[in-house]
């Protein structure tokens, strides 16, 4: 193959030319006039609608091919159509985060000489799951196929599925124990995996021999290739109808139109200025089996974000001041950061008009080199990059929402997404066979509140706007655990005038297995990794894991004794401890432990969203409904919200409005009596800062941020009127 | 062009519009006359006369107060020059013990107060809780929003502000 003449396509030159034109004109591919749109807007819009229909239809068809409940049940898939240079023209619903990561993958192949070797020909299939080439994490495996029309490359069709098993050091896809890329699982690095529309047998064999549950990955490959071929044939048919010249022009005008629309929407919905926010993530692994001591086991991550909206409508996000990459799986590549930006924009601003890579082009990310957002070492692991990505883009949602509130579009303000801790498992299945999978019921957390109503209960995650927890019966088919409970977690939404959406907790009985490895990731239990807005509180931290080994549940069931189906509302003693005998286990942070077996019980709580507005303004009548239906406890209604409830004749809670007014007036007075002027607090706190009187992990966080960012150092020093470097890095060279 | 009455926008902002109507507003093309109408809604809500220039939170507004532009609470309390961080003029209550965090999270596992605290920024006059920060101890207070007020009025609204 190496001695073959270079391809005549010269895509690389075309791509570089397109980037140069964008640089010179500020418009995508140098398109300064939307000629075709102006000539016939109806035809223009109709064609884009057709492309979108091709995508949606191809995805739905492909989901029926997949064997994975992640794809079939909760829709962990997205497909898109690209220009020859790899810019997204149209996309389906689903995990839209990957539309732009696939764009990076295509461009990477073009820039790395794939035209010459391994060559790009009709019927070829390329796959990738390397985040430094273009994806978020190892389970996000993408396939693309070129679209040719009479020998000319006229575009690409691409598809991504999130694989439930990636063959890493721990089962599942979000490989929580991975500390370098070499333990993340099976990598496919921009590889040609098929020719003539057929996946190579040797590639399938590699998958079959390196995965715990190859049926998911292999059938997902077939599903993706089928969807790509479906889109490819539809596009070819369309080109035969509208002509090649028109296609080549209109496909690019779609993107330029998308870019302009994004700028226009920013000018319509927001207010220019500088917006700031932050969040944190607590990585707690000390003493957990399996973690190599490659770095400090416990690590507090700060994620500050500064967003600037300029009067031309451009949005820039700057992550300066955040932490360095580490020997854990939570690092993220620029591709993943792009993806987070894209999926957030598609939900918040691109709710009308053309949705494609144009929106992304109207934004800019500043990702400091050497941080977790842009590691300067390509050996780092990114398997659980969502752990930091989700909190980060939750901040982005709150910053955007501040701008919506300022502009008067209160109905668009949304406190945002939260982390979605995931359970993964492997070992011996209920059928006696080896297995491995990620449990995707996490795809339905509680959302942050809105500025006009409560958040969504068990119905939202930022990474898949089509959030769905899946049916219990479907999950039970795939794992050796049966549900003995799935219920709302009271108070799991952050408190506020509008509370965050509540999450749920599942409880399982481990069943028909002698070896079940259970692991969790994206689990920040030591700090809040979400936030509230305009006076609303953050949702609770990730709840601890509660399990019972060697439980007596079968004896209790045989006697007809009451069981426990949820942890309950006492944080000190769970209902499992009250009702079920056995060895009770409470684990903070990621759950990494010895295998479980039949008769054990395991529970896992998901996260709720942050609140909006002052708690003392919450509607008492709605709160009574919340208490009646298990979204809030009576204790919280009284103590947090100042709402006095009494019982009606049937024992249901009703609000006592007069008593509530009185109680809230007292609480407001108490609030003022307790509070001190901020200036006084700063003066007092400065002494603590000067002595660096903080936990070791907090001190390390400051030292790391100061080392990487002169701006963080300056701002910290100015705020406290101290020399931050001499406090946190004594002896370091200036 | 989409447009809503001031009464509809008042109910929307108050969270009192029926969901079916709210949903239609969310799904419809946005109303280009929203900003000034919403400012008028807020102006009706406050007892003071300073013209509101920009809402910046649920109960905080930048307003024109004589020659100055200041951040004002709905109750009338002034937090001073809008370009400065209003939080520095607020009252604060910090929750950095398990006991204090438990008051807000009575039935949940808590963060470690050595790693994380909650800071409540309160209007010293009316006691409204305007903002909550969850931050590591020692983390500087965030200046949430520095609007480009003049650029906004001049270039986006086409109604330049009077020079002060």
Q: For residue range A507-520, what is the model confidence (pLDDT) as tens digits?
A: 999 999 999 999 99
Over residues A284-327, the pLDDT tens digits come to: 999 999 999 998 899 999 999 999 999 999 999 999 999 999 99
Q: Count of domains in chain B?
A: 1
Chain B residues lying within 8 Å of A272, measured CB to CB:
147-148, 151-152, 155-156
- A503: distance to nearest CA of chain B, Å? 12
**If you average pLDDT over residues A358-370, what whole number do you get?**
93
Phi, psi of A469 (to 5 degrees): -85, -10
- B137: distance to nearest CA of chain A, Å? 7
Q: In which residue are the tokens 């509070």 written?
A: A675
- A278: distance to nearest CA of chain B, Å? 8
Inter-CA distances, A734 with A250, A557, A731, Å = 55, 68, 9
Q: Is the pLDDT of residue A633 over 70?
A: yes
Flag whether B20 is in a domain.
yes
Record the tokens describing residue A704, joined without a space: 């790391």
What residues 266-325 of chain A have any CB closer than 8 A to a CB of chain B?
Answer: 267-269, 271-280, 282, 300, 302, 310-311
Flag whether A199 is in a domain.
yes
Query: Can you tell me the distance from the alpha carbon of B125 to that of A180, in angstroms, rounded to the nearest whole number?
Result: 54
**If you average pLDDT over residues A489-511, what whole number do you get?**
98
Predicted pLDDT at A71:
93
Q: Which residue in the set B109, B131, B156 is minimally distant from A267, CB to CB?
A: B156
Q: What is the CA radius of gyration of chain B?
A: 19
User: What would the 3-class secondary structure string for A28-40 be?
Assistant: HHHCCCCHHHHHC
- Under DSSP, is residue A50 helix (H, G, I), strand (E, B) or coil? helix
Q: Which range has the worst mean pLDDT, A91-95, A703-707, B116-120? A: A91-95
Predicted pLDDT at A5:
41
Flag whether B12 is in a domain.
yes
Flag whether B150 is in a domain.
no
Q: Are residues A594 and A660 in the same domain?
A: no
Q: How far is CA A180 from the centre of its chain?
A: 21
Phi, psi of A614 (to 5 degrees): -70, 130
Q: Are residues A99 and A16 in the same domain?
A: yes
pLDDT tier at A388, thresholds 50, 70, 90: very high
Does the reported pTM lie above 0.90? Answer: yes
Predicted pLDDT at B146:
98
Flag whether B8 is in a domain.
yes
Flag whether B77 is in a domain.
no
Flag whether A468 is in a domain.
yes
Q: Count of domains in chain A?
A: 4
Q: Are residues A75 and A162 in the same domain?
A: yes
Query: Can you tell me the distance from the alpha carbon of A407 to that of A489, in angstroms, rounded to the nearest whole number?
Result: 34
Domain final residue pick, A581, A605, A629: A605
Flag whether B126 is in a domain.
no
Flag whether B157 is in a domain.
no
pLDDT tier at A99, thresholds 50, 70, 90: confident
Chain B residues lying within 8 Å of A675, measured CB to CB:
91-93, 120, 122, 124
Flag whether A277 is in a domain.
no
- B133: distance to nearest CA of chain A, Å? 8
CB contact under 8 Å between B134 and A527, yes or no, is yes
Q: Are residues A60 and A158 in the same domain?
A: yes
CB contact under 8 Å between B132 and A536, yes or no, is yes
Q: Is the pLDDT of residue A7 over 80?
A: no
Which of B6, B10, B13, B15 is the best residue to mutate to test the A interface, defined by the most A CB atoms within 10 Å of its own CB?
B15
User: What is the residue range of A644's domain?
Assistant: 615-674
Q: Are residues A661 and A690 in the same domain?
A: no
Q: Is the dihedral of CA A90, A91, A97, A99 positive or negative?
A: negative
User: What is the residue range of B12's domain?
Assistant: 1-45
CB contact under 8 Å between B152 and A544, yes or no, is no
Flag whether A449 is in a domain.
yes
Q: Are residues A633 and A719 in the same domain?
A: no
Query: Can you tell me the distance from the alpha carbon of A542 to that of A492, in angstroms, rounded to the nearest whole number?
Result: 10
Q: Are residues A599 and A621 in the same domain?
A: no
Flag whether B9 is in a domain.
yes
Q: Which residue in the set A535, A635, A676 is minimally distant from B58, CB to CB?
A: A535
- A727: distance to nearest CA of chain B, Å? 12
Predicted pLDDT at A8:
54
What percent of chain A is modeled with pLDDT above 90? 91
pLDDT tier at A734, thresholds 50, 70, 90: low
Q: Are residues A568 and A685 in the same domain?
A: no
**Beta carbon pairs, A and B, within 8 Å:** 250
What's the complex ipTM?
A: 0.98
pLDDT tier at A1, thresholds 50, 70, 90: very low
Q: Any chain B CB within 8 A of the CB of A677?
A: yes
What residues 7-66 of chain A have any CB closer than 8 A to a CB of chain B?
Answer: none
CB contact under 8 Å between B142 and A672, yes or no, is no
Q: Are residues A557 and A599 in the same domain?
A: yes
Domain final residue pick, A630, A648, A674: A674
Bridge partners of A299?
A: A283
Flag whether A574 is in a domain.
yes
Query: Can you tell me the distance from the alpha carbon of A310 to that of B129, in angstroms, rounded to the nearest whole number?
Result: 30
Which chain B residue's Cα is nearest to A718? B140
pLDDT tier at A10, thresholds 50, 70, 90: confident
Secondary structure (DSSP) of A207-249: HHHH-SSHHHHHHHHHHHHHHHHHHHHHHHHHHHHH-HHHHHH
Q: Are residues A682 and A658 in the same domain?
A: no
Q: Are residues A114 and A160 in the same domain?
A: yes
What residues 632-651 of chain A have any CB closer than 8 A to a CB of chain B?
Answer: 633, 635-636, 639-640
pLDDT tier at A6, thresholds 50, 70, 90: very low
Predicted pLDDT at A352:
73
Q: Are residues A167 and A252 in the same domain?
A: yes
Burial (CB count <10 Å: 0-12, 13-18, 19+), residue A81: buried
């Amino acid at each position: 193959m190496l001695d073959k003449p270079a391809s005549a396509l010269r895509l690389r030159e075309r791509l570089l030319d397109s980037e140069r034109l964008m640089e010179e004109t500020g418009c995508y591919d140098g398109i300064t006039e939307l000629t075709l749109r102006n000539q016939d807007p109806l035809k223009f819009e109709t064609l884009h609608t057709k492309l979108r229909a091709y995508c949606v239809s191809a995805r739905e068809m492909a989901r029926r091919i997949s064997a994975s409940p992640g794809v079939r049940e909760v829709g962990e898939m997205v497909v898109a159509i690209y220009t020859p240079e790899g810019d997204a023209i149209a996309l389906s619903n689903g995990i839209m985060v990957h539309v732009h990561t696939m764009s990076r993958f295509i461009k990477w192949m073009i820039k790395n000489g794939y035209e010459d070797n391994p060559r790009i020909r009709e019927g070829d299939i390329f796959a990738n799951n390397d985040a430094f080439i273009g994806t978020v994490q190892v389970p996000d495996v993408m396939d693309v196929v070129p679209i040719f029309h009479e020998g000319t490359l006229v575009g690409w069709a691409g598809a991504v599925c999130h694989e439930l098993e990636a063959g890493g050091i721990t089962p599942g896809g979000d490989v929580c124990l991975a500390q370098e890329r070499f333990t993340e699982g099976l990598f496919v690095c921009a590889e040609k995996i098929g020719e003539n529309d057929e996946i190579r047998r040797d590639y399938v064999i590699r998958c079959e021999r390196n995965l715990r549950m190859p049926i998911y990955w292999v059938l997902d490959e077939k599903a993706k290739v089928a969807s790509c071929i479906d889109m490819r044939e539809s596009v070819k048919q369309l080109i035969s109808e509208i002509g090649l010249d028109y296609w080549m022009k209109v496909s690019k005008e779609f993107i330029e139109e998308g870019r302009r629309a994004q700028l226009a929407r920013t000018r319509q919905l927001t207010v220019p200025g500088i917006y700031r926010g932050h969040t944190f993530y607590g990585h707690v692994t000390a003493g957990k089996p399996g973690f190599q001591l490659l770095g400090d086991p416990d690590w507090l991550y700060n994620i500050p974000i500064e967003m600037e909206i300029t009067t031309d409508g451009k949005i820039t996000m700057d992550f300066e001041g955040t932490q360095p990459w580490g020997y854990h799986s939570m690092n993220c590549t620029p591709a993943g950061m792009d993806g987070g930006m894209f999926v957030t924009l598609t939900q918040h601003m691109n709710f009308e008009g053309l949705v494609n890579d144009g929106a992304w082009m109207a934004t800019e990310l500043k990702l400091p080199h050497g941080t977790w957002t842009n590691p300067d070492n390509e050996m780092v692991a990114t398997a659980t990059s969502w752990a930091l990505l989700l909190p980060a883009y939750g901040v982005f949602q709150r910053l955007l929402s501040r701008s919506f509130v300022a502009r008067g579009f209160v109905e668009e303000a949304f406190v945002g997404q939260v982390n979605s801790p995931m359970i993964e498992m492997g070992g011996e299945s209920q059928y006696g066979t080896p297995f491995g999978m990620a449990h995707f019921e996490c795809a339905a957390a509680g959302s942050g509140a809105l500025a006009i109503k409560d958040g969504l209960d068990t119905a939202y995650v930022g990474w898949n706007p089509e959030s769905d927890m899946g049916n219990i019966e479907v999950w039970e088919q795939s794992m050796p655990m049966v549900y003995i409970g799935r219920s709302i977690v009271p108070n799991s939404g952050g408190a506020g005038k509008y509370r965050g959406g509540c999450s749920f907790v599942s409880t399982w009985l481990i069943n028909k297995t002698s070896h079940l490895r259970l692991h969790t990731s994206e689990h920040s239990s030591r700090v809040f990794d979400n936030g509230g807005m305009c006076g609303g509180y953050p949702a609770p931290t990730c709840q601890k894991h509660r399990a019972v080994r060697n439980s007596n549940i079968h004896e209790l069931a045989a006697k007809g004794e009451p069981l426990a189906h949820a942890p309950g509302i006492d944080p000190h003693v769970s209902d499992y401890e009250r009702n079920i005998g056995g060895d009770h286990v409470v684990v903070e942070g990621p759950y990494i432990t010895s295998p479980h077996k039949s008769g054990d019980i395991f529970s896992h709580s998901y996260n709720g969203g942050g609140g909006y507005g002052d708690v003392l303004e919450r509607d008492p009548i709605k709160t009574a409904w919340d208490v009646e239906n298990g979204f809030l406890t009576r204790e919280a209604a009284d103590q947090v919200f100042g709402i006095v409830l009494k019982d009606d004749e049937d024992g249901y809670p009703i609000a006592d409005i007069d008593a509530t007014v009185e109680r809230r007036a007292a609480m407001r007075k108490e609030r003022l009596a307790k509070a001190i002027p901020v200036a006084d607090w700063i003066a007092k706190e400065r002494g603590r800062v000067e002595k660096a009187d903080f936990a070791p992990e907090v001190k390390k966080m400051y030292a790391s941020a100061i080392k990487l960012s002169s701006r963080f150092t300056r701002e910290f020093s100015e705020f406290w009127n101290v020399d931050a470097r001499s406090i946190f890095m004594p002896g370091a060279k200036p | 062009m989409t447009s809503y009455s001031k009464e509809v926008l008042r109910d929307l902002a108050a969270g009192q519009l029926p969901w079916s109507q709210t949903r239609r507003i969310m799904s419809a093309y946005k109303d280009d006359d929203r900003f000034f109408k919403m400012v008028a809604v807020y102006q009706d809500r406050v007892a003071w006369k300073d013209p509101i220039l920009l809402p910046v939170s649920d109960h905080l507004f930048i307003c024109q107060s004589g020659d100055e532009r200041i951040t004002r609470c709905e109750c009338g309390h002034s937090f001073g020059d809008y370009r400065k961080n209003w939080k520095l003029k607020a009252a604060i209550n910090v929750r950095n013990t398990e006991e204090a965090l438990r008051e807000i999270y009575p039935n949940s596992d808590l963060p470690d107060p050595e790693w994380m605290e909650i800071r409540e920024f309160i209007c010293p006059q009316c006691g409204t809780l305007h903002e909550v920060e969850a931050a590591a101890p020692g983390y500087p207070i965030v200046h949430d929003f520095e609007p480009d007020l003049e650029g906004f009025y001049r270039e986006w609204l086409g109604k330049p502000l009077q020079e002060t």
